[in-house]
């Protein structure tokens, strides 16, 4: 059986971190996804994974260093006392005419079979399933409007592959998504990718629960006489009716134009109308004259 230290290219005195670094480097180079036409690389990947599985387990590593198990984790042959390696609570199997005899507590036979890493009869034994590779963390910035409408986002993973990520409805800032099998490689397969969604702010909008708030400037003439103004909502522009004599700060509620909920329905858009004074000098002078007259009447012509 191959020496797991030699397979990973590390010394027997290497610590756990050095073993992990060596494994990650080799696993990345030899991964089947990168060596589809190289069967030798695939076989080496399996050997590297098996070696790491043994050496990353402190108990198995100690057993291997003591010579109790081989490079595949199986117990080594017969013990010197005539029984199978490791023994059973002080007893063992001994050859007698016509077969084998077990000396010791019969109850130890089954407990020992399940305790040891490998079967004393040379089979694969009762091994723990190989561990998956480590998870890998990502942070994905999602534009405010895309988050509100649950639009898919594109993300590039560490291996260079680009995928379209389905943003969940009702997404919250800081919400995490798990992508199975998109993490680091490991003996039992790759780990997962953990993506944290960070919703980017938008100067035009503010979220209020499932509603979205925004401000719309209204020309003074339209506020006084009534008219229409353009409002840029999440889905695009709409024309809003402005009632005659509208005051600054008035709120309009547009049903179903807000944040997408988990059930697919949407909150509302809350539009605040703000009056815009005229920029033209003549119009501004006329407005000032009107305001002066109104103030004078309010104070009895003083």
- 3-class SS at 292? helix
Q: For residue 79, what is the DSSP state?
A: -
CB of 183 closer than 8 Å to CB of 192: yes
Contacts of 269 (CB under 8 A, 6+ apart): 211, 212, 213, 214, 233, 234, 253, 254, 257, 258
**CATH architecture of the domain covering 206-297:** Sandwich (2.60)
Q: What residues in the chain have per-residue pLDDT under 70?
A: 1, 77-127, 279-302
The DSSP secondary-structure symbol of 26 reads H
**pLDDT at position 35:** 84
pLDDT for res 48: 87
Q: How far is CA 75 from CA 91, 92, 117, in A?
A: 16, 14, 8
Of how many residues is the chain composed?
A: 302
Identify whether the C-beta of residue 144 lies closer than 8 Å to the C-beta of residue 202: yes
Residue with tokens 């016509």: 98
Decide if domain 4-115 falls under CATH 2.60.40.10: no
Contacts (Cβ under 8 Å, ≥6 apart) of 296: 302
Characterize the bridge pairing of strands 136-142 and 193-199.
parallel
Gap between the Cα atoms of 54 and 185, Å rounded: 16
| pLDDT given for residue 295 in this prediction | 58
Per-domain residue ranges for the chain? 4-115, 136-199, 206-297
Distance CA 37, CA 34 (A): 9
- Topology alike, domains 4-115 and 206-297: no
Q: What is the CATH number of domain 136-199?
A: 2.60.260.20
CA 132 to chain centre: 16
pLDDT at 36: 80
């Amino acid at each position: 059986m191959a020496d797991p230290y030699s397979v990973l290219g590390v010394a027997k005195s290497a610590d756990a971190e050095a073993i992990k670094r060596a494994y990650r480097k080799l696993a990345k180079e030899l991964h089947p996804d990168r060596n589809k036409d190289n069967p030798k690389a695939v076989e080496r990947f399996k050997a590297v994974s098996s070696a790491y599985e043994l050496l990353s387990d402190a108990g198995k590593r100690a057993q291997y260093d003591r010579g109790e198990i081989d490079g595949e984790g199986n117990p080594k042959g017969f013990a010197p006392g005539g029984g199978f390696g490791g023994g059973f609570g002080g007893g063992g199997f001994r050859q007698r005419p016509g077969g084998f005899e077990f000396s010791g507590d019969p109850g130890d036979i089954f407990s020992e079979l399940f305790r040891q890493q490998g079967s004393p009869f040379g089979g694969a034994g009762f091994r723990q399933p190989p561990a998956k590779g480590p998870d890998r963390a990502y942070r994905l910035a999602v534009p405010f409007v895309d988050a509100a409408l649950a639009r898919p986002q594109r993300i590039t993973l560490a291996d260079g592959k680009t995928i379209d990520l389905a943003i969940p409805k009702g997404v919250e800032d800081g919400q995490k998504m798990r992508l199975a099998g998109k993490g680091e490689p490991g003996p039992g397969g790759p780990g997962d990718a953990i993506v944290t969604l960070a919703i980017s702010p938008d100067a035009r909008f503010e979220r209020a629960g499932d509603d979205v708030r925004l401000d719309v400037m209204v020309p003074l003439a339209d506020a006084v006489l009534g008219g229409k103004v353009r409002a840029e909502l999440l889905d695009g522009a709409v024309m809003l009716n402005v009632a005659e004599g509208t005051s600054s700060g008035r709120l309009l509620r547009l049903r179903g134009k807000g944040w997408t909920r988990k059930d697919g329905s949407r909150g509302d858009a809350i539009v605040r109308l703000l009056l815009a004074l005229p920029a033209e000098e003549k119009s501004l002078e006329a407005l000032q004259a009107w305001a002066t007259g109104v103030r004078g009447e309010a104070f009895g012509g003083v």
